[in-house]
Chains A and B, each alone.
Chain A
């Protein structure tokens, strides 16, 4: 790739894929922005026209908007906290040489192989169902009244399901980071009089900081778009108790048939995701330097 002609050839051969990717990205975004400025309701196709930012004000002013943002944040932060904390603990456990290590590791990562809707349905029907779920049985065995998870704590229940799905990812990344830890550093800390807790806090955790950053960044991107788990369990309810921003857009578009408002919501979601990404990069991204 050094001579001028080979560089030209490379550019020529790369251009089709670059152009396709660009079109693939730009056209939907442009169409979304365009729709978001139109009066566009599928139930009243005769009412059209350019209405500037009315869709945006309608979307933001709707009572579900603010709660959907709060719900999204609770879901994302809750899942991040659970997966990072438990992920570190599990990674520390399965990093130890134990009998049947291979099997244990496969078991630990297996939730990742299960499709989100399937996992959510299993949680809903087999575990959390208040009449014949396993949790209800366990509560009855202990003499307690069964708890209606999805009815009374819908967002917490969904957070739990999503965290269960993403725990293997966090564990796997953190485990590989743990395995790159130099044993001499641990031994040096041991000689320096650090007990197990101090070794974890001063030596292991700083070593894991980069991996934790990666986990937080990647998971946030995916968690902002969590949808299937909500659709198959609570459908955003009761009321709007478990409606996230993504789910609110879905409701506008496919339950309210209001393409214009949904498009505006989509654009708002993109902007908010970018704001979150910028904050994340400032807060934890510096761990990726050096």
Chain B
């Protein structure tokens, strides 16, 4: 009896194995795009927006890029770097995708970049701002359609110095994205005569800010620069306002402080100035068209910076594929076309550096109601230094 059961168990196991691993041998007519984005956890909404943006552009082109139909495969990256290598390997080796698009979390993207580099798979990073991806890890087949953490920080440093702010305090979570943003801020702020009197930070993703707000009140700087995102950004702004600091010590930040969070911040963010590569009321035709198309395609969803990044990742892929007539294997030609192109993005036109990070205008925006309305261009055609990238 026992052996029979063993046999049954073994059958069941192999059926499961087969179901999950079956590698389809296809003639590869359509191009397979693998989304590796968060579908669970804190970043879920961002992942959805990126996917929507990407698909919007592709469907605007009739479902084809470079003359070939686009087909999608998905894997939930769970924002867990420990699973990242396996997840991207699944896309590349099992689903046999031609292009990988992902992701939000920097640590996950770092692992993805390594696999993409080794397997020479085309990778488009639609959010994660880790400088390493277009720095030491840069490669001819890796592109970013978003930003580097350094860029908004650098732009904001210039703006604040110009406003005559002399003494600033920075506050962020103790993790790579925060550190890089603060580094960008300091680079330009100190170059223009400002002084950072203290760097405050707290462990990620701790959101108990009260102790540090008291510290800020005691230090009495001219202004505060901050990098927070998502739920932490909502709480930080509300706490900052409730502590009565908003009117006395102006708060500035990287744009994620008020992006996708204004509704939740419920008016407490009113008037906050932040820097980012996208804003509301940009008033260019491309942005208007994008927004109305997005709102038609995805009911109840507001187009945001993440959707733009997904949209532009698709645009960049489209430009590359157009140049190679849909041949993904001609990576050198594909990269050359993208590097040469001027991408007509809803955020305004931008180009791609040799290290494959956007060279783009960073806007100064001001929160008004539920929008981050553009004030001015804070930094024109700003490029990431791409330290450590041999391609530049």
Tell whether A and B belong to one assembly.
no
